[in-house]
Amino acid sequence: MKSWSLYKNHRLFAGTVFLGFLGLSSLIALQPATRVQADNAPLPTAVALTPDQQAGMRVFIGEGCVACHTQQVRNIDMDKTWGGRPGMPADYAWRQRLDVWRATPSVLGSERTGPDLTEVGVRQPSDLWHLLHLYQPRSVVKESIMPAFPWLFRDSTAGTPAGLALHVPAAYREPGNHTIVPTRRAQQLVAYLMSLKQAELPTGQALPFLNVSPPKEAVATGAPAPGGEPVLDGATLYATNCQACHQASGEGLKGAFPPLKGSPVVNNADATLMVNIILQGYNPRPEYGVMPPFAAKLTDAEIAAIMTHERSSWGNKAAPVTADFVKKVRALLKPGPATASAL
Amino acid sequence: MKTSRFSHRHRYTLLAAALLLAPAGAGAQPAAPAEGPMLAQPAVLGMIGLLLVIVLGALVLLVGRVAALVRGTQPPSHENVDGRFDETVTNLTAAQLEAILARRQAQEFAPDRTALGGTQGPRDPQGLVQRVAIDVHAPWFHEKRRTIPFSDLDPQLTTLVAGFLLCAAFWLVLGTSVGWYAGVKFVSPDVDHLAALSFGRLRPVHTNMVFWGWSSLAMLGLGHFVVPRTNNAPLFSRRWGWWSLGLINASVLLGSLCLLNGVNNGGGEYREYIWPVMLLFGVGVALASANFYQTIARRTTEEFYISNWYILAATIWGVVLTVIGYLPWYQNGMGETVIQGYYMHMGVGMWFMTFTLGLMYYFLPMSLNKPIYSYSLGVLAFWTQLLFYTMIGTHHFIFSPLPWWLQTVAIVFSAGMVIPVLAGTINFLMTFRGNRKRVGDSYSLPFLLMGVLFYFTGSFQGSLQALRYTNLVWHFTDFNVAHSHITMYGIISFMLWGCIYTMAPKLRGREPRQVLVGVHFWFALVGLLAYVVALMIGGTLKGQSWMAGEPFIKSVVLMAPFWLWRAIGGTFMLLAHFVFFYNLVDMLLLGKPAAAAVVTPSKSQAHEILESV
């Protein structure tokens, strides 16, 4: 005589919990996943990863970088730091199984012990910087706690192609006559990192961020200037945007990033060249890393605040720069991509 | 505390003050102005309240311990009521004095600790020796009740269970050593430059090893004991049990070697083992599931006890979610992220939590020697666990590009988790009711009690963290690391330890050294509190720093002291695990089982006696 009580009929019980869980799982995981996957294609403006960048992504996964780095710009204004618009499914449409053995790379991440990497290719377009940073993060960011990856580099004594050798500051290398050269894997990883940027939306219209944060009081010093605009804190903006290369001391890194301290460009009474470099980027000197353009990232007022900070710190003694001046120089440039001040 | 503007330092002191003074401050400042947006948030207040639950719980245990200690060391007070005493003493004759001294000596006689020792068990028809609770010569340590060994165990099943537990303890020690070392790297990132020991590789080694190696094997080991016992039937197949153990061990070993060598499945948390390795684990759990099912099918009772529902269901769900997590057909693009949220949360909720709750329904009544408070609450908790827990995985991806409705469902059901959690907590606490003394007399019940408190705290914390506002502050910060340690360590590990200390002495009749069990308990508890409090405060400050738009590196710098505290707490936790490993080896391997003493226990142990026969 079969009982119909769940607690007396073990077959009925096992069937119920199995089907119940499978049913709910299908509702909440299998179906949404299938639907999301079906309704997904990369943006037409997105650039597919090259084989080298693909290989770099494998290094990225194998070294467990996702444990500390997200690639996820959430639709809340505090995430504006990490990208120009909130992430959308199409940004991740390229993701699929790495190979038979390995699954889809889980790059969205769940922990931000290090910075988000969605746009690291824009924020930091200098491969020299990335290589130095991978070899020894503290050689470029003193306070960093990121692991060093010396096994992605080799010690080469002879036959090194010029230009590949890293200029590691003496404090971060073993004494002796070492030439540190990135391996192919390091170059691939850097190629992957530099490929990371948000594709532009075809309509050119940005998705909205939810406005949820309290008013930013850390960047503004609080007291509004007579004009009503808050006074921007150039030191903080410098730390956010410039310090990774030019360093807190303003001295840069020998053989990698030029000093601002005592620099004739920074101290020049006519700041036009300096504004131009910041707006358009700079790469004519092979011994130094590439400087990214900031025209789309910073407003005129922010650039003016940073410049004023740079021109009055570390012994530099040049006159402050106004937002109006930056605006004038910007207007002289060819009409390029949309500027931040226009957004 | 009348700051109107929140500078960074003020936020820190306020938070610390709120954590310490919240109960007092509420009454003292009836008209306190709103203290900034952060502390005014109900979810934040709730979180502080939850933290207080565990801190107060630990304090109650500690105060009880210290009070007993003080009582034990103070000589009894003899009040000189009206001065007649002195008078009498001075007027005593030498003969009277001698008689009194001799009498006092006789009265103060106490056998030394070895007086009743010997090769034979004591003849103790009144059960007096068994009931001695305090050793007057060592008042620092509360003498705990001895465990009554089972007399009817299948020695081969005992060996299987011991095998599971010893392997589990081994993975615990190794896995938390790895975790500890990974934590040290936050304080000292250049401590080594070896590829295999870099943080990115060690982190998944740690998480997977304590998940699949420690917790899973410990649960399964206890399950292989509970299922036959509660169904009054022998285990269906011991061979399947050994296969299950072997396969899971192989999976953890191979998986760890893969990760150390840079072979990572895709970086999704707890899915870092590649599929051939995870397959071994899945087959191991499936074998255990079939074994349990067949044992239940051969039961000699009409109904099967509630522990079996949880345990059988957990093994079924564990297999299902592993399969769903690893099948490839729906995991391109954002499909992967839907599955990741589901998988990482179900791993905790439907596998670890469900199984461990099943163990609680057996071991808690056993160590309290009374039935569970309410069978019906257990039923309610079981079905709501299935209904609500399954739906909440996406709350790990609030504000992500996943469909907004999926995020909302996850948040709503996260709040619904209140029902199973309250049902379970009330059930366990009501079972504890009226047994305060018994908790102090036992070396396993303190673990179970803290496990229950953490169950309440950790689960509610999870529900609160799922809300959209709290996500703004805490998501991506170290707060989540604190939460996962409150749950996987505070709930799962504490409950498992309580169960193991209840069962293991019964297997071979050999008790652990009670001082060492105490060391294990207090080191684990104090270490965990230091760990989670540090990361919760640090995580909050980090989130606020991000919201204020400060340069990212500032949030790294501000975490430095909290990461140091985490490492200190972690050190205590790790030491506790070494002690636990020794205790387990002591109970299961060292020495011969004590000769079966002729024990005539008291009536209050009737249930235990019935259980043991």
Domain assignments of chain B as residue spans, ordered by start:
8-23+35-73
Q: Which two tokens stand for residue B564?
A: 């140091």
Kindly give, in sequence order, each residue whose CB lies less than 8 Å from that of residue B188, ignoring residues fewer than 6 positions away: none
Q: Which two tokens stand for residue B225?
A: 């004991």
Contact B308, B231 (CB under 8 A): yes
* ipTM, interface predicted TM-score of the complex: 0.82
Contact B337, B400 (CB under 8 A): yes
User: Which residue in the set A21, A97, A218 is minimally distant from B386, CB to CB?
Assistant: A21
Residue spans of alpha helices (H) in A156-233: 184-195
Given CB atoms, is A4 within the 8 Å cutoff of chain B? no
Confidence of residue B605 (pLDDT cuts 50, 70, 90): low
CA-to-CA distance for B483 and B280, rounded, in angstroms?
A: 29
User: Which residues between 160 and 219 in chain B have a beta carbon less than 8 angstroms from any beta carbon of chain A?
Assistant: 185-186, 189-190, 193-195, 198-201, 203-204
Cα separation values, B333 from A100, B321, B395, Å? 17, 20, 19
Give the pLDDT of residue A285.
75
User: Which residue in the set B200, B275, B342 is minimally distant from A29, CB to CB?
Assistant: B342
User: Between these two residues, B603 and B275, which has the higher pLDDT value?
Assistant: B275
Same domain? For A164 and A226 the reply is no
Contact: A92, B401; criterion CB under 8 Å: yes
Say how far residue B186 (Cα) sits from the centre of its chain.
Answer: 25
CA-to-CA distance for A111 and B542, rounded, in angstroms?
A: 12
Highest mean pLDDT of the ranges A194-208, B33-47, B68-82, B173-187:
B173-187
Give the pLDDT of residue B162.
96
> Which residue has tokens 């509360």?
B142
Tell me how crowded residue A339 is: count the other CB atoms within 10 A of its CB: 18
Give the pLDDT of residue B116.
61
User: Which residues between 264 and 323 in chain A have a beta carbon less than 8 angstroms from any beta carbon of chain B?
Assistant: none
Give the pLDDT of residue B120.
65
Given CB atoms, is B339 within the 8 Å cutoff of chain A? yes
Give the pLDDT of residue B150.
81
**What percent of chain B lies above the pLDDT cut of 90?**
61
Kindly give, in sequence order, each residue whose CB lies less than 8 Å from that of residue B571, ignoring residues fewer than 6 positions away: B180, B527
CA-to-CA distance for B584 and B313, rounded, in angstroms?
A: 28
Amino acid at B299: R
Give the pLDDT of residue A331.
86
Residue A214 lies in a domain: no
**Chain A nearest CA to B133, separation (Å):** 41
Helix, strand, coil share (%) of chain A residues, nearest 5: 40, 5, 55
Query: Could you give the maximum distance between any two Cα atoms of chain A, in Å?
Result: 100
Which residues from A are below 8 Å from B313, CB to CB? 17, 21
Give the pLDDT of residue B69.
80
User: Which residue in the set B271, B320, B403 is minimally distant from A25, CB to CB?
Assistant: B320
Buried b (16+ CB within 10 A) or exposed e, B429-445: eebbeebeebbbebbbb
Q: What would the mean pLDDT of A145-174 be, rounded to a whole number?
A: 79
Selection from B268, B553, B289, B7 nearest residue A115 by Cα: B553
CA-to-CA distance for B14 and A328, rounded, in angstroms?
A: 46
The DSSP H or E segment spanning A180 is strand A180-182
Answer yes or no: is pLDDT of B579 > 80.
yes
Mean pLDDT of chain B: 86
Which residues from B are below 8 Å from A216, CB to CB? 548-549
Tell me how crowded residue A160 is: count the other CB atoms within 10 A of its CB: 13
Q: Which two tokens stand for residue B177?
A: 């050593």
Backbone angles phi, psi at B274, to 5 degrees: -70, 160
Answer yes or no: is pLDDT of A289 > 80.
no
Q: What would the mean pLDDT of A95-117 be, rounded to a whole number?
A: 93
Give the pLDDT of residue A339.
44
CA-to-CA distance for B295 and B229, rounded, in angstroms?
A: 10
Residue A8 lies in a domain: no
Say how far residue A302 (Cα) sits from the centre of its chain.
Answer: 19
Residues A8-22: tens digit of each pLDDT = 999 999 999 999 999
CA-to-CA distance for A324 and A299, rounded, in angstroms?
A: 11
User: Between these two residues, B533 and B92, which has the higher pLDDT value?
Assistant: B533
> Which residue has tokens 């666990």?
B385
Q: DSSP readout, B381-426? A: HHHHIIIIITT-GGGGGTTSSS-HHHHHHHHHHHHHTHHHHHHHHH
Which residues from A are below 8 Å from B401, CB to CB? 72, 86-89, 91-92
Q: Are strands A220-224 and A153-155 parallel, antiparallel or unpaired?
A: unpaired
Contact A300, A343 (CB under 8 A): no
Residues B413-458: tens digit of each pLDDT = 999 999 999 999 999 999 999 888 888 888 899 999 999 999 999 9
CA-to-CA distance for B136 and A246, rounded, in angstroms?
A: 70
Same domain? For A188 and A59 the reply is yes
Contact A189, A56 (CB under 8 A): yes
Residues B353-364: tens digit of each pLDDT = 999 999 999 999
Minimum Cα–Cα distance from B198: chain A residue: A147
Contact: B186, A145; criterion CB under 8 Å: yes
Contact: B476, A36; criterion CB under 8 Å: no
Kindly give, in sequence order, each residue whose CB lies less than 8 Å from that of residue A236, ignoring residues fewer than 6 positions away: A218, A219, B550, B551
User: Which residues between 1 and 60 in chain B have a beta carbon less than 8 angstroms from any beta carbon of chain A?
Assistant: 5, 37
Give the pLDDT of residue B121.
63
Q: How many domains does chain A have?
A: 2
Residue A34 lies in a domain: no
Give the pLDDT of residue A170.
80
Minimum Cα–Cα distance from B330: chain A residue: A34
Amino acid at B100: I
User: Which residues between 29 and 88 in chain A have a beta carbon less than 8 angstroms from any beta carbon of chain B?
Assistant: 29-30, 32-34, 36-37, 40, 61-68, 70, 72, 74-76, 78-79, 81, 86-88
Selection from B218, B199, B538, B483 nearest residue B356 by Cα: B218
Q: Which two tokens stand for residue B219?
A: 């649960």
Give the pLDDT of residue B189.
95
Selection from A212, A234, A247 nearest residue A312 by Cα: A234
Give the pLDDT of residue B35.
43
Highest mean pLDDT of the ranges A169-183, A246-260, B553-567:
B553-567
Among B71-80, B487-496, B549-558, the least confident range: B71-80
Q: Which two tokens stand for residue B314?
A: 């957990």
CA-to-CA distance for B232 and B81, rounded, in angstroms?
A: 62
Minimum Cα–Cα distance from B295: chain A residue: A10
Backbone angles phi, psi at A181, to 5 degrees: -125, 135
Residue spans of alpha helices (H) in chain A: 10-25, 31-38, 51-62, 120-123, 127-135, 184-195, 234-241, 243-246, 264-267, 272-280, 300-312, 323-332
CA-to-CA distance for A49 and A107, rounded, in angstroms?
A: 15
Q: What would the mean pLDDT of A52-81 be, rounded to a whole number?
A: 94
Q: DSSP readout, B470-499? A: HHHHHTBSTHHHHHHHIIIIIIIIHHHHHH
Contact B308, B358 (CB under 8 A): yes
Given CB atoms, is B222 within the 8 Å cutoff of chain A? no
Q: What would the mean pLDDT of A86-106 be, rounded to a whole number?
A: 92
User: Which of these three, A195, A230, A253, is where a domain ends?
Assistant: A195
Answer yes or no: is pLDDT of B335 > 90.
yes
Residue A10 lies in a domain: no
Q: Which two tokens stand for residue B166?
A: 């010893």
Answer yes or no: is pLDDT of A216 > 70.
no
Same domain? For A128 and A70 the reply is yes
Given CB atoms, is B273 within the 8 Å cutoff of chain A? no
User: Which residue in the set A104, A109, A141 is minimally distant from B336, CB to CB?
Assistant: A104
Among A227-236, B76-85, B370-379, the least confident range: B76-85
Selection from A33, A28, A26, A30 nearest residue A89 by Cα: A33
Selection from B257, B68, B250, B91 nearest residue B167 by Cα: B250
CA-to-CA distance for B388 and B576, rounded, in angstroms?
A: 34
Residues B212-228: tens digit of each pLDDT = 999 999 999 999 999 99
Residues B240-250: tens digit of each pLDDT = 999 999 999 99
User: Which of these three, A195, A212, A231, is where a domain ends?
Assistant: A195
CA-to-CA distance for B250 and B243, rounded, in angstroms?
A: 10
Among A88-92, A162-166, A198-202, the least confident range: A162-166
Residues A125-139: tens digit of each pLDDT = 888 899 999 999 999
Give the pLDDT of residue B138.
54
**Chain B nearest CA to A234, separation (Å):** 12
Kindly give, in sequence order, each residue whose CB lies less than 8 Å from that of residue B114, ignoring residues fewer than 6 positions away: none
Q: What would the mean pLDDT of B511-530 be, rounded to a whole number?
A: 94
Same domain? For A281 and A153 the reply is no
Kindly give, in sequence order, each residue whose CB lies less than 8 Å from that of residue A29, ignoring residues fewer than 6 positions away: B324, B338, B339, B342, B343, B393
Residues B188-221: tens digit of each pLDDT = 999 999 999 999 999 999 999 999 999 999 999 9
Tell me how crowded residue A54 is: count the other CB atoms within 10 A of its CB: 16
Q: What would the mean pLDDT of B104-115 be, rounded to a whole number?
A: 76
Residue spans of alpha helices (H) in B115-198: 128-131, 155-187
The residue count of chain B comes to 613
User: Which residue in the set A65, A89, A243 is minimally distant from B334, CB to CB?
Assistant: A89
Q: What would the mean pLDDT of A199-221 be, rounded to a whole number?
A: 65
Tell me which of B185, B206, B264, B546 to substitute to probe the interface with A (most A C-beta atoms closer than 10 Å). Answer: B264
Contact: A78, B332; criterion CB under 8 Å: no
Mean pLDDT of chain A: 84
Residue A210 lies in a domain: no
> Which residue has tokens 């991978």?
A134
CA-to-CA distance for B538 and B534, rounded, in angstroms?
A: 6
Tell me which of B334, B484, B542 to substitute to probe the interface with A (most A C-beta atoms closer than 10 Å). Answer: B334
Give the pLDDT of residue B112.
66
Among A270-279, B134-143, B376-385, B399-408, the least confident range: B134-143
Give the pLDDT of residue B596.
45
Confidence of residue B469 (pLDDT cuts 50, 70, 90): confident
Confidence of residue A239 (pLDDT cuts 50, 70, 90): confident
CA angle B608, B610, B613 (to 5 degrees): 105
Same domain? For A156 and A245 the reply is no
Residue A317 lies in a domain: yes
Residue A134 lies in a domain: yes
Which residues from B are below 8 Å from A27, CB to CB? 391
**Chain A nearest CA to B515, separation (Å):** 39
Contact: B340, A144; criterion CB under 8 Å: no
Give the pLDDT of residue B141.
61
Tell me how crowded residue B572 is: count the other CB atoms within 10 A of its CB: 18
Confidence of residue B84 (pLDDT cuts 50, 70, 90): confident
The DSSP H or E segment spanning B460 is helix B445-465
Say how far residue A281 (Cα) sits from the centre of its chain.
Answer: 17
Same domain? For A170 and A228 the reply is no
Given CB atoms, is A142 within the 8 Å cutoff of chain B? no
Give the pLDDT of residue A144.
95
Confidence of residue B17 (pLDDT cuts 50, 70, 90): very low
CA-to-CA distance for A341 and A343, rounded, in angstroms?
A: 6
**What percent of chain B lies above the pLDDT cut of 70?**
84
The CATH number that applies at residue A141 is 1.10.760.10
- Domain containing residue A186: 51-195
Residue A168 lies in a domain: yes
Confidence of residue B82 (pLDDT cuts 50, 70, 90): low
Q: What would the mean pLDDT of B60-89 be, rounded to a whole number?
A: 76
Q: What would the mean pLDDT of B138-163 be, rounded to a whole number?
A: 80
CA-to-CA distance for A84 and A338, rounded, in angstroms?
A: 12
Give the pLDDT of residue A226.
46
Q: Which two tokens stand for residue B579?
A: 């002690």
Contact: B269, A18; criterion CB under 8 Å: no
Answer yes or no: is pLDDT of B285 > 90.
yes
